[in-house]
Structure 1
Amino acid sequence: MEAYVASYAACFRPRLHGQLAHCQQYIKGLFHACRSNVERMNERLPDSSYDALHHFISVSDWDGQAVMDEVARRVQATLAEVAGEQGLLLDECGWEKAGTKSVGVGRQYIGQVGKISNGQVGVFAVLSRGTSAGLVGGQLYLPEAWTTDASRCTQARVPLAARTYRSKPALAAALVDHLLGQDLVRADWVGGDAAYGNSPALRQALQQRGQAYVLDVGPGLHLYLADPTPAADPVWSGRGRPPRRARPLGTALALPQVASQLPPPAWQQVTYRPGQKGPLVRQAVLVPVWRWESSAQSAEALHLLISRELDGTQVKYSLCYCPPGAPALGVAQALYRQMQRYWIERVFQEAKQQLGLHQNQTRSWPAWQHHVALTMMALHLLLDTQLRERETIPNLSFASLKLVLAQKLQNLLHQDDALLAALYQRARANAPKHPPSHAP
């Protein structure tokens, strides 16, 4: 662990308040069996100082974005060893937060509790390949109540560039531009749930980049099953206002209407991933569609992926785009991409349960970014260790890794051999009784 953290030395200023040494302590604190806040860490870490750790996470001027970027590069390198396509997945992650002083806090929908509550929300990007995934970027969402209150932003040390309101899809688009534009990661496609797929601006931004996507959309979206673009420009009759744009031909249908018009033979039974109890299978169909935004001059040609469980429940809709010249997207490939969104939820779960992503007890913008950056660093350490040891310990989970590392930090495991033996023992205990079937 010490060598791993030391490899990030270029992101810190070692001679200024011992930043790298404090980073070592903070990462160890994330792995300890305690809540991931400075007070609890200080109780567990020998030779630590509460004031020094608090200064490091809340006040010190090291660049959290630089750490996130380095983590992104390393996640890309780690996943390059995994077979299959690689997706860049977008989603938000929130947690409850008391009070009104913490940056970005407010009454908003918090996925952790499934309702509107007082809390903070961030927009995150996860890189996914096969059954492995890692956090590669994150940005705090500031509600309009914050961006319109300059005094509040100043007290929370929000940078001037971040004080203009940006929606969650806009933050997601900026994350994609940064990660792909800086060549930090590569992506065969971009994925996201309906909060992002329903955004015309995000879809347009991805298309302008020539970036393929499979984005979930809500059932209320309306699409055309034939190109609605008129053959000629609109003609003014001489009465009333001259038409500014053409009117689409035909009638747009809501997505459940599209699904209801499909004949039974159109649906294919597709295996999209191996599971613990056998192959995971859904029924799916890929339909050519056109979407005409009210502000557009013409329709955009896309594909609509509709998938459902074998009993017809849990219907999912996704808009699919491939840039010109790219190979056509098949049903199996589209379904795989749609269902890969599962892994971003798993990453959030691991980041919270194992590393306390949501347990930061500071208030400022830099502190939020610093805590998230170091959590990303620790999460990549778990991912990299898991993949490096997969041949000898194939069932190694993040929870087992965290537990054994915590025991080592508490001096319950004194030698590396004992550490490996403990990992192997836990992996054997967690191994499924019947090995999972593999998709064809």
Structure 2
Amino acid sequence: MTGVPIEQMLELWCVELRQVKADLQSLFAHPSVGASAAAFLDGLLGPERRKTGWMRAEAAGDSGPWRQQAVLGRSHWDADALRDMVRDYALETLAAPGAVLVIDETGFLKQGQHSCGVGRQYTGSAGKITSCQIGVFAAYVSDKGCAFIDRQLYLPQDWTNKPERRTAAHVPDNLHFVTKPQIATQMIERAIAAGVPFDWVATDTVYGVGKVEMQLRRAGKGYVLGAHATDQFSSWIDKPEVAGTAEKIAQALAPEAWTRLSAGDGTKGARLYDWAYLELADLEAEEYNEDLTGLWTRGLLIRRSLSDEDLAFFSTWCPAGTPIEILVRVEGQRWTIEDAFETAKTESGLTHNETRSWQGWHRHVSLVMLAFAMMAVVRERANTLTSPQKRNDEAKLQRWYAGLSRKSAAWPHASSNTRSSLPS
């Protein structure tokens, strides 16, 4: 956001925050609760490194954290309504052609046994099995920015099977055990039902393949889904013969099958890897949804590290003729949600949830999502004030996707010149 006069930047922040708070008020029956929620939001956006109840209360001039704690606990309001508000608010600014819905999880380290969903489970946040909560998130990622648009606390099976723990943590009676992939399919279903404009879905191996794949094919959405080295892949219908586990297929590839590409910029510059892409079959979209047309390709994308030649595998589904560069870009967006987790934890209080209940977790996280979305919206609006090149590049991308869409009612069977028609 460099190059924006400080007066203009302050005005942008003030106008945006005032509007967000006004929209937030509509969720609460009593104005005092809405005012407390607005103060909570101020605390999340404030300069304090720790966004605990006492720190937020001090920033708001309160004698203690009780007023803001009531927003998370005793007050009557719907956290899912706030989730939906955040989604719609973020999309007003961040929606763009080629957007990716990224689904991933993050851990919240917890001591004790009373916080809802806590248990000994693996979390990548700590890199080990430890006592924690796991939250599953969906992030909307486009060239305009990133925002969380969905979230759900994962309940281990030993929580759903113990009525006394459920009651103490106020877990809804109608909530049963669901796996993380099932949570992912529910989030995708909600996004589609809400008309979220995304073309792709990217996930880690935790969410894998199977039902998610079929759901996305029926919806006409492309995907790059993490796969295991032991997953079986095979080609058919006029494609070069390929059969075996993903790892064995990768090991048999000729040197010229690999292409060095960047999966996006990281903290140390471009994330360069060697990539290989195998088309396994071309299938008609109408085989999965009679309202769709066009030829789509089932494929296997393989990533190889430059340092240790470590391999990663991805099951893909995309319009026929989609170049490998697009698939690599989609896969690279998974890092965006990792960066978002880190930012939300260090700057927006995502890990400073002091509640123990199901509704408390979802209320706190949804307010953090609102703060994070607001920062993304302000950043994008400031960028459009200062970056003509960004607007020019975005226009090129929109024209490319528009041209692609005109060839078919859904995603088209792209011509052999698709690679050369990418924006430059």
Which residue number corresponds to residue 181 of structure 1?
Answer: 193
Q: Is contact 2:242–2:280 with CA below 8 Å preserved after alignment?
A: no
How many Å apart are 1:157 and its aligned residue? 0.9
- Distance, in Å, in 2 between the alignment partners of 1:187 and 1:48 is 45
Pick from 161, 177, 202 the counterpart of residue 165 of structure 1. Answer: 177
Which residue number corresponds to residue 273 of structure 2?
Answer: 282
Pick from 38, 44, 55 the counterpart of residue 70 of structure 2. Answer: 55
Alignment of 1:95-114 (within 5 A): 95-114=108-127
Unaligned runs of 5+ in 1: 229-249, 291-299, 395-438
Q: Is contact 1:2–1:24 with CA below 8 Å preserved after alignment?
A: no
Pick from 17, 20, 42 the counterpart of residue 4 of structure 1. Answer: 20
- Distance, in Å, in 2 between the alignment partners of 1:391 and 1:181 is 30
Which residue number corresponds to residue 46 of structure 1?
Answer: 61
- Distance, in Å, in 2 between the alignment partners of 1:210 and 1:88 is 14
Alignment of 1:280-319 (within 5 A): 280-289=271-280, 302-310=298-306, 313-319=309-315
What amino acid is the match of 2:231?
L
Which structure has the larger Rg over C-alpha atoms? Answer: 1
How many Å apart are 1:62 and its aligned residue? 0.8
What amino acid is the match of 1:67?
L
Q: 1:272 to 1:152 in 2, by over 3 A?
A: closer
Q: Is contact 1:95–1:111 with CA below 8 Å preserved after alignment?
A: no
Pick from 237, 261, 270 the counterpart of residue 261 of structure 2. Answer: 270
Which residue number corresponds to residue 68 of structure 1?
Answer: 83
How many Å apart are 1:271 and its aligned residue? 4.4
Which residue number corresponds to residue 211 of structure 2?
Answer: 201
Which residue number corresponds to residue 156 of structure 1?
Answer: 169
Which residue number corresponds to residue 224 of structure 1?
Answer: 234
TM-score, normalised via structure 1 length: 0.75
For the pair 1:210 / 2:220, whether they are aligned, the reply is: yes
Q: 1:256 to 1:351 in 2, by over 3 A?
A: same
Q: 1:366 to 1:279 in 2, by over 3 A?
A: closer
- Distance, in Å, in 1 between the alignment partners of 2:197 and 2:165 is 37
CA RMSD of the aligned region, Å? 2.5
Which residue number corresponds to residue 392 of structure 2?
Answer: none
- Name the structure with the higher helix share: 2
Q: 1:92-147 deviations in whole A, cap 9, x for unaligned?
A: 11111111111111111122211111110011000001372111110010000111
**Partner SS, residue 313 of structure 2:** strand
**Partner SS, residue 60 of structure 1:** coil
How many Å apart are 1:60 and its aligned residue? 1.2
Pick from 251, 258, 261 the counterpart of residue 252 of structure 2. Answer: 261
What amino acid is the match of 2:73?
S
What amino acid is the match of 2:187?
L
What amino acid is the match of 1:26?
F
What amino acid is the match of 2:199?
D
For the pair 1:29 / 2:43, whether they are aligned, the reply is: yes
Q: 1:410-432 deviations in whole A, cap 9, x for unaligned?
A: xxxxxxxxxxxxxxxxxxxxxxx
What amino acid is the match of 2:300?
L
Comparing 365-374 with 131-140, greater Cα deviation is found at 131-140
Q: 1:386-418 deviations in whole A, cap 9, x for unaligned?
A: 111125677xxxxxxxxxxxxxxxxxxxxxxxx
**Partner SS, residue 26 of structure 2:** helix
Which residue number corresponds to residue 293 of structure 2?
Answer: none
Which residue number corresponds to residue 332 of structure 1?
Answer: 325
Q: Is contact 2:260–2:274 with CA below 8 Å preserved after alignment?
A: yes
- Distance, in Å, in 2 between the alignment partners of 1:111 and 1:194 is 13
- Distance, in Å, in 1 between the alignment partners of 2:266 and 2:133 is 34
What amino acid is the match of 2:131?
N
- Distance, in Å, in 1 between the alignment partners of 2:316 and 2:138 is 19
- Distance, in Å, in 2 between the alignment partners of 1:124 and 1:374 is 14
Q: 1:327-384 deviations in whole A, cap 9, x for unaligned?
A: 5322111111111111010110111010110111110111001001100000011111
Q: Is contact 1:131–1:343 with CA below 8 Å preserved after alignment?
A: no
Unaligned runs of 5+ in 2: 1-16, 282-295, 388-422
**Partner SS, residue 195 of structure 1:** coil
- Distance, in Å, in 2 between the alignment partners of 1:274 and 1:355 is 23
How many Å apart are 1:385 and its aligned residue? 1.2
Task: Determine what percentage of the aligned residue pairs are the same residue.
Answer: 29
Q: 1:146-193 deviations in whole A, cap 9, x for unaligned?
A: 11112211111111222x11000100110110122122x221111101
Instruction: Tell me which stretches of 4 or more aligned residues in structure 1 moved more than 6 Å.
Output: 275-278
- Distance, in Å, in 1 between the alignment partners of 2:268 and 2:53 is 41
What amino acid is the match of 2:361?
W
What amino acid is the match of 2:203?
G
**Partner SS, residue 383 of structure 2:** coil
What amino acid is the match of 2:347?
Q
What amino acid is the match of 2:321?
A
Pick from 128, 132, 135 the counterpart of residue 115 of structure 1. Answer: 128
Q: Is contact 1:105–1:118 with CA below 8 Å preserved after alignment?
A: yes
**Number of equivalent positions:** 356
Q: Is contact 1:214–1:338 with CA below 8 Å preserved after alignment?
A: yes
Q: Is contact 2:49–2:346 with CA below 8 Å preserved after alignment?
A: no
